[in-house]
Amino acid sequence: MYAYMTSAENVFVKENDEGYEKVRASNGKKYAFLVESTTNEYINNQKPCNTMKVGSNLDSKGYGIATPVDSQLRDPLTLAVLQLRENGELDRLKKKWWYENSQCDPDTEKDPSQAELTLENVAGIFYILSCGLTLSVVIAAIEFLYKSVVDSKKAKTSFGSMVRCKARLSFRGSLDDSSIPNTPQKKQTATYTYTGPVQVPEYEPYPDNNTHTQV
């Protein structure tokens, strides 16, 4: 910013009044005057009431009262200023001389930085939250239905029973025996393998008889 200001022509002014007049002459389109905030707020509430503060303060600096070194007035002045700040007297005086005695319309004398938060000012936040919440509900519903279709095909059961089962699981956290979808089970068939005749111990079905034929 400073590099641009030093390179451009007719930017700097010698007095604040010259800067205010330059702002009014440009109608706020080509020239902006940087001035400390306290003076700016006071000028904005004086006629012809055609200037305004734009944005927030660039920095924060306070006023001070200078005294000679080792002056006896330093500590009493410091304590007095702190007391006036704590009891709100400084804010009351500023409100009296800056705003209550304003020469401008009451609608324009309010400090823009202290504007109240109304529904119109924060309506955009609620719109964004509502849209985001609606979109998340739609996506969750689509995912729920898609998962129900896939699981119903795997379990070979109806889509409605699977949706009811998942809904009970989501709300209750557990499943009842009646809510579990009936999955058809495969019939089990008994198998038998023939291993040959069973040999009984100490029993010879064909005893080895010592038979011969005599001639």
The pTM for the full model equals 0.42
Q: Can you tell me whether residue 191 is helix, strand or coil?
A: coil
How long, in residues, is the chain? Answer: 215
User: For tokens 């557990």, what's the residue?
Assistant: 174
Instruction: Please answer whether residues 175 and 165 qualify as being in contact, where contact means their C-beta atoms are separated by less than 8 angstroms.
Output: yes
Radius of gyration of the chain (CA): 47
pLDDT per position as a tens digit, 29-75: 778 888 888 888 888 888 888 888 888 888 888 778 889 988 999 99
Q: Can you tell me whether residue 163 is helix, strand or coil?
A: helix
pLDDT per position as a tens digit, 123-175: 788 889 999 999 999 999 899 888 888 888 888 888 888 888 888 877 776 65
